[in-house]
Chains A and B, each alone.
Chain A
Amino acid sequence: MKREKRIKIYVVILLIIMPGFLSGCWDSHELNKLSIVSGLGWDIDNTGKVTMTYQSIIPSEIKGSSGSNGGGEQKGGSQLSAIQLNQDTGSSPYDALSRYTQHASRIPYYEHTQIYLFGKEGVQRGIYPFLDTQARNPVSRPKALMVVSAEEKASDILGIQDGMENIQAFGMAAEIKLSATFSKYPEVTVLQFQNRLLSKTTAPIAPMVGIFEETGPEGKKIRRTRVVGTAVFKGDRMIGQLNERESSGLLWAINEIKIGFVMIPEASMEIVSAKSKIVPELQGDQVKITIEIDEESNLVEYRGHQDITADLVHELEKGQAKEIESQVRAAVEKSFALDADVFGFGEAVHRKYKKEWKDLKPRWDDIYSRIEVLVKVKTHLNEIGDVNKALIKD
């Protein structure tokens, strides 16, 4: 009896002490002591000093309708906004981060950061310190998006209140994902960027976001963001960019076309599905790459004032194939000009020609622009829509 009673007392004591541990006394983070960073911006000036911009969420200000424009920058306008911008400068990313606490009332919390935005000057000087932090720091999410700013500073873009989303970084992330879904510009996560960097031959890429102005209601000038291009890197520096057409071509080649449109002079098609394969071939020292594309689409717009005939469908398919091929060619030409293997041709050769790759790899920069590229496109127009006779005939 005595022993059982003693055990019961021990258990009770344990039960009282345990919850103190289980809630994590040393590591507890209270929500109202956190500053949830939704977007992180990185700028570097010509002295090499780094400016980090944090876009943090003010939880109480998140309402159904967006508040107003203006992102709550340090200027006097005290308009209500769901986000708050803070900036810090230092000799390295972490140096800047460490100064955050001098003017913030809360600890930054990066688990919800959607976007890492890099200023134009920064990417031209090289973003390695930032990349190292991303890989090393356990709180960074591998699926956050890498974005390059087409304007000078990342801080400018993070301050723009745009669109239907209250929280600007979430909105921009959604914008980028949508443009990737519509096969216009790539969506690049931190993990994908890191992997491209680790492969010694593939060039990292990232979408570029720019600012444009438009005149809104009451004649007020509103600044908005949009995705404007694809940045091409060599190592950790940006060396060039792809425009809209070249970006689409890139997506066609690397099998990242989801939905979207193909425009030819007399018609528009909506892409239903698309698959592509990169097939390498080695002939002696000459590398030949065949990009095989298989696409299915529906006809959504025909401006030709004619009835639809079976022959016309074939014509349209051929036209589509030509258009896709020219987009891919444009991307290939640009990548040759930049001498950057954005497609991963090197890795494709590696996968197929294990032994030869050992010689080719160190010379890849020289070999790259001399690769023969063949583009084979197969298109299929599935549906022609509800009408097969023209509304106005020629």
Chain B
Amino acid sequence: MALEKGRISNFQLSVLIIGFVFGSSVIISPGGKGAGHDAWIACAIGLMEGLLIAWIFTALTKQFKDKTIMEINSLVYGKILGKGISLLFIWYLFHLSALVLTNYTHFFKLQIYPATPNTVTLLLLILVCASTVGRGIEVLARLSIILVPIIILVVFSDTLLLIPHIDFNNLMPVLDVPSGKLLLASHGAASFPFAETVAFLMVLAFVDKPEKAPSAVFGGLLIVGFMLIMAVARNAAVLGPMAEITIYPTYLAAQVIDIGDILTRLQVLVAISLITMGFIKITVLLYGTVLGLAQVFNLHSYRPIILPVGILMVIFALTNVGNTQEMVDFAEQGYPFYAIPFQIGIPLITLVVAKLRKLPQTGGDQV
């Protein structure tokens, strides 16, 4: 029973990665807190850590071509332990998706639609994601080819339009932050958003040329990494010390754009970026969750469970934090550590065990 018959090209994979990593980072800048105006350096270091983690999990998929992490786990650890670990991973995907939805909701409730109930915003988004997941990974990949370049353009124009307001003095002195804090912020930037690409362990099985897949992943990560570094640096340069206080620095920076009284109020483009890129990220995570569940429980198809899982995600997103500050606290303090077993632990240990057990048998000894 082939749960997923679609195949995506490596180019689509790169674009998907870009959209995914952009996700909610278009509004909540990575590596921000604790690093002050050196946040862009933290972001750069985090990107390197993210690339390292990507190297680990792409090595795993290279070892086991055409298999999602669920199938790999069952092969490596045996059916029972394997399914247990797979369920843990599915929980991570589910939780992460709910976190993205929570970010999404709080941003919209504050800046755009203060009176609209959170439930409505979330339901509308989840319905779109659910219908996309139902059509398979190919449809999502093709969608992202349209959406992602547009948002790349938006991010670049935001930066270009802010050039007159950039004051490099705001970025100086460089490396002002104590290195302990900087490294902590870098790891924060790695775990959100770069290392979250570990979710693609559910997608890499469906690439049509698996040998080239790792470079597609690295390429996508580098592109989006540089864009995020640029955005973080630009926010700090334009906003100065305020960039560390605001929860949504990209949005505030966009409010500064004012060209000839005509190009103003472009902050709405930031909201649009969030809608589109958030959609991609949530769809990938929802897809991973339902596909994983279907594989673990040997279902014929993942389609019937998309809607209930989506609704559960919405409920989780509405209730998993008490207020916005708890959301921010979790993102800054607990999440970088909470994510370690899922982002690094599972792929690394599985890779090591697989190598030790000389799996997969058909492939023989592969490096």
Instruction: Verify whether A and B have any Cβ pair under 8 Å.
Output: yes
Select which of B115, B176, B241 is within 8 A of A27 by beta carbon. B115
Within 8 A of A (CB), among B96-121: 110-117, 120
User: B124 contacts A143, CB within 8 Å?
Assistant: no
CB neighbors of A among B215-265 (8 A): 239-242, 245-246, 252, 255-256, 258
Given known A-B contacts A143-B256, A351-B173, A354-B173, A191 and B242 have beta carbons under 8 A apart: yes
Contact across chains for B240 and A195 when beta carbons are under 8 A apart: yes
Interface band, chain B? 20 to 34
Whether, in the assembled complex, B139 has its beta carbon less than 8 Å from a beta carbon of chain A, the answer is no
Residues of the B chain whose Cβ atoms lie less than 8 Å from the Cβ of A138: 110-111
A26 on interface, CB distance cutoff 8 Å: yes
Q: Are A195 and B241 in contact (CB under 8 A)?
A: yes
Q: Is A275 in the interface zone, CB < 8 Å from B?
A: no
Find chain A residues with CB under 8 A from B272 CB. Answer: none
Q: Is B333 an interface residue (CB 8 A)?
A: no
A27 touches B116 (CB 8 A): yes
Using a CB-CB cutoff of 8 Å, which residues 343-371 of chain A contact chain B? 347, 350-352, 354
A-side contacts of B110, CB under 8 Å? 138
> In the complex, which of the residues B113, B176, B258 contacts A24, with contact meaning CB atoms closer than 8 Å?
B113
Contact with B along A24-41 (1 / 0, CB 8 A): 111100000000000000
Q: Does B169 contact A (CB under 8 A)?
A: yes
Query: Quick one: given A142-B255, A143-B255, are A352 and B173 in contact (CB under 8 Å)?
Result: yes
B172 on the A face (CB < 8 A) = yes
User: B239 near A26 (CB under 8 angstroms)?
Assistant: no
Given contacts A138-B110, A142-B252, A351-B172, contact A24 B242 (CB under 8 A): no
- CB pair B256 A135 closer than 8 Å: no
For chain A, give the interface size range.
20 to 34
Identify B242's interface contact among A27, A195, A352, CB under 8 A.
Answer: A195
Among A25, A138, A352, chain B packs the most CB atoms within 10 A around the CB of A138
CB of A21 within 8 A of CB of B124, answer yes
Please tell me if the beta carbons of B241 and A199 are within 8 angstroms of each other in the complex.
yes
Task: Give Cα distance in the complex from A21 to B114, angstroms.
Answer: 14
B115 touches A26 (CB 8 A): yes
- A268 part of interface (Cβ distance < 8 Å): no
A198 vs B256: C-alpha distance when bound (angstroms) = 18
Q: Which residues of A contact B120 (CB under 8 A)?
A: 21, 26
In the assembled complex, the Cα of A241 lies from the Cα of B120 at a distance in Å of 52
Q: How far is the CB of A142 from chain B (nearest CB, A)?
A: 5
Mark out the residues of chain B between 114 and 149 whose CB falls within 8 Å of any chain A CB in the assembled complex: 114-117, 120, 124
A residues with CB within 8 A of B: 21, 24-27, 135, 138, 141-143, 191, 194-195, 198-199, 347, 350-352, 354
Additional pairs, 17, CB under 8 Å, beyond known A21-B124, A26-B115? A21-B120, A26-B116, A26-B117, A135-B242, A135-B245, A135-B246, A138-B111, A141-B255, A143-B256, A191-B239, A191-B242, A195-B239, A195-B240, A195-B241, A198-B245, A347-B169, A354-B175
Question: Can you list 12 residue pairs at the A/B interface with Cβ under 8 Å?
Answer: A21-B120, A24-B113, A25-B116, A26-B115, A142-B255, A191-B242, A194-B242, A198-B240, A198-B245, A350-B173, A351-B169, A354-B176
